[in-house]
Amino acid sequence: MMAVPKEPVLRGTLLFDEPMARHTSWRVGGPAQRFYAPADLADLAVFLRSLPLDEELLWLGLGSNLLVRDGGIAGTVIALHAALNTLELIAPSTVRAEAGVPCAKVARFCARNNLVGAEFLVGIPGTMGGALAMNAGAFGGETWAHVVAVETIDRHGNVRTRHPEDFQIGYRHVQGPAGEWFVAAQLGLQAGDGAAAQVRSKELLEQRNRTQPTNQPSCGSVFRNPKGDYAARLIEAAGLKGHRIGGACVSEKHANFIVNTGMASAADIEALIEHVARTVEQVHGVKLVREAHIVGECSHG
Ligand SMILES: Cc1cc2nc3c(=O)[nH]c(=O)nc-3n(C[C@H](O)[C@H](O)[C@H](O)COP(=O)(O)OP(=O)(O)OC[C@H]3O[C@@H](n4cnc5c(N)ncnc54)[C@H](O)[C@@H]3O)c2cc1C
């Protein structure tokens, strides 16, 4: 008798109705129907192959650029930050960082290996996967300026190596082949003085703490800076600093941050985002473009 091939066993963690407020830096968001934290890349491939092809997927890093609505996610969240954690030198000045590695860890790893150029990543509170998806940047540095290659996965679990020319890359915007998501980056950096890179990273962190409300839940800058100007300047000049809707408030410290003062709902935050955009357009005639991603269902409760 022929043995029936067994379904591969999943080794990650599958949760149901997982509150997304636990996984976003704004600390809001309703439940995800399914939430999967893979054990590793091979397990992620098995999981993806097990899903119906029309299953809605939300790829999650550290949720530091995501507003999940109060009604939650009708589909499956794939959370990479507890998996895909390999960080290694693959050539004298090329670092391979899997998608779940926190950006700060990449910055410190580069400096320890006497590589310079990645210091700007130190204060970005997301993962490498999120930094690739957003082209995260700060203080003149940008993620894709250092990308030599990326590794992606599709719904069938196929992993490919792709290059920057396969993507349209802009300011906080990246568009790549449909149906592929990031599982690793290969970053090219310059050989240099690692101790000086560590000092610079420390200075950048201090500058953030001085100018940003880093001790309150937020998603960083809500809007992209318009060409030749700053969203924060426009918002402050429109008299919006300190403006509140429910528990959401335009930060007094940095007007392009909306903070959760404790009891905000996602609906409060979204309403405040819309109010700020509308007011800035009325006062300055400038249409602000959102940097934060809004996902999920409105609450009908
Ligand atoms: C205090 C604070 C300061 C910040 N400062 C900066 C800053 O200086 N510069 C800056 O650019 N940003 C900044 N941000 C925003 C945020 O940290 C970045 O956008 C970051 O890159 C998001 O990474 P993440 O892992 O948290 O992504 P998430 O928020 O989890 O996801 C963001 C988007 O990327 C997608 N995504 C995530 N992982 C993958 C993947 N593996 N493959 C494909 N798509 C994926 C998600 O689906 C989502 O659309 C700040 C945020 C905070 C809270």
The answer, yes or no, to whether any atom of ligand 1 lies below 6 A from the CB of 153, is no
- pLDDT digit string, tens, across residues 210-235: 999 999 999 999 999 999 999 999 99
What HEC string does the chain produce?
CCCCCCCCCCCCEEEEEEEHHHHCCCCCCCEEEEEEECCCHHHHHHHHHHCCCCCCEEEECCCCCEEECCCCEEEEEEECCCCCCCEEEEECCEEEEECCCEHHHHHHHHHHCCEECCHHHHHCCCEHHHHHHHCCEECCEEHHHHEEEEEEEECCCCEEEECHHHCEEECCEEECCCCEEEEEEEEECEECCHHHHHHHHHHHHHHHHHHCCCCCCCCCCCECCCCCCCHHHHHHHCCCCCCEECCEEECCCCCCCEEECCCCCHHHHHHHHHHHHHHHHHHHCCCCCECCEEECCCCCC
- 197/176 Cα distance (integer angstroms): 31
pLDDT number for residue 2: 57
pLDDT at 7: 63
Q: Check if 181 has its Cβ closer than 6 Å to any atom of ligand 1.
A: yes
For residue 295, the ligand 1 atom closest to its alpha carbon is 49
* Residue ranges in the chain modelled with pLDDT below 70: 1-7, 301
Diameter of the chain measured on Cα atoms: 78
Q: Which atom of ligand 1 is nearest to the CA of 217?
A: 53
Which amino acid is residue 154, in one-letter code?
A: D
Neighbour count for residue 170 (Cβ, 10 Å): 12
Atom of ligand 1 nearest to the CA of 26: 53
Q: Does the beta carbon of 143 lie inside 6 Å of ligand 1?
A: no
Residue 33 has what pLDDT? 98
CB 235 within 8 A of CB 250: yes
Q: In this predicted structure, what is the pLDDT of residue 299?
A: 83
Kindly state the tokens that stand for 237.
């000049």
Residue of 30, 36, 22 lying closest to 68 (CA atoms): 30
Residue 247's nearest CA partner among 228, 232, 269, 227 is 269
Polymer length of the chain: 301
CA 142 to chain centre: 14
Q: For atom 3 of ligand 1, which residue has the closest CA?
A: 220
Supply the pLDDT for residue 82. 87
pTM of the model: 0.96
